[in-house]
Amino acid sequence: MSSLNSTVSPNAAFVRPQFFYINGFSNIPHVKYYYIFLCFVYAVTVFANFFIIFIIYTDKSLHTPKYVAVLNLAVVDICESTALIPRLIDTFLFDTQFITYEACLANMFFVHLGTSMQSLTLVVLAYDRFVAICFPLRYHIIMTNTSMFVIIACVWVFTATLIITLVLLTTRLSFCRSIVIESYFCDYGPLYRMACNDNYSQHIHAIICITVFTFMPFSLIVLSYVCILSALLKIASGEERLKAMKTCTSHFILVIIGYLPFFITYIAALLSVINLNTRIICSSLSSTIPAMLNPIVFTLKTEEIIGAIRKLYKRNKK
């Protein structure tokens, strides 16, 4: 490993290495079983999300703003998992831990784009539930399929712009000391901290991204649920209150799945109570498991999806 850390000359003014070495998991017994588990996660993720897309596309009753956002989440889950898991399995299961500079930047872009879009799509779904419960009489005026498409398109453009900026800032870094990335993919954080020139602007952009794509979305979701809870308490009928709450159940579970593992890992890493391998495994699980569970939660916890599946089953049975 020391030979990799000294691959390039520290006397060079600006060094852009031909490749990086993704260190990932080291000295973990039976770690190959974990990669096989990730193969299973990826297979379920792709199948379940394509199934949700198929159900929403074929059932016209699901052509509503809420399910436009759900469909977008399914697309994001497939893209994010495809950008991360196959490359991760190829890297570590088949010992191809070297990655070219250009491929590393591409990997960084697509993985961070997917995880960021996943977070912001949960905000879009929270906004949909907020309008539906807090402004029920105006819901069909505020939330239309067109407005939802516009919102999602803006989110994609905004996210892609910030992530492209992140990648472009990486190209300004010089790597004269080490080419070993202490992560399971070309992660921006570990990468910019390896630089031997000034990385202050990259550090600021990292703070902006983690605020915009993690802490701010979570805060907005919490705020939306505070408003939703306040609106529910004003509903006199207990039956109507329960019915409204049920429409939020699937989204609430997705928020817990998506954010809780990340915050636990993030806080533990700040307090230095977990070692590098544990942090990497927790981070990889928090990046891959939500994409697999999202469509399963919507299938099991959403009456409209269950109804659409039943209609499809009856139609095919005839």
DSSP 213-234: IIIHHHHHHHHHHHHHHHHHHT
d(CA 286, CA 258): 7
Q: CA 99 → CA 19, 259, 286, distances in Å?
A: 5, 30, 23
* CATH assignment at residue 313: 1.20.1070.10
Q: CA 282 → CA 34, 137, 269, distances in Å?
A: 12, 43, 11
The answer to whether residue 166 is domain-embedded is yes
The answer to whether residue 68 is domain-embedded is yes
Polymer length in residues for the chain = 318
The answer to whether residue 7 is domain-embedded is no
Three-state DSSP at 100 gives strand
pLDDT at res. 236: 61
The answer to whether residue 3 is domain-embedded is no
State yes or no: pLDDT of 38 exceeds 60. Answer: yes
For residue 189, the Cα-to-chain-centroid distance in whole angstroms is 16
The answer to whether residue 84 is domain-embedded is yes
For the chain, how many structural domains are there in total? 1
Q: CA 96 → CA 24, 63, 99, distances in Å?
A: 11, 44, 8
pLDDT above 90 covers what percent of the chain? 58
pTM assigned to the model = 0.90
User: Strands of 19-22's sheet, edge to edge?
Assistant: 98-100, 19-22, 180-181
DSSP assignment letter at 212 = I
For residue 70, give its domain range: 17-317
d(CA 148, CA 85): 29
The answer to whether residue 101 is domain-embedded is yes
Digit-coded pLDDT (tens) for 150-165: 999 999 999 999 999 9
Digit-coded pLDDT (tens) for 178-231: 899 988 899 999 999 999 888 999 999 999 999 999 999 999 999 999 999 998
Q: Which residues of 119-145 are buried (b: 16+ CB within 10 A; e: fewer)?
A: bbbbbbbbbbbbbbbbeeeebeeebee
pLDDT level of residue 35 (50, 70, 90 thresholds): confident
The answer to whether residue 1 is domain-embedded is no
Burial class (CB in 10 A: 0-12, 13-18, 19+), 36: exposed
Give kind and range of the element (H or E) at residue 134: helix 101-134
Most confidently predicted of 9-18, 58-67, 265-274: 58-67
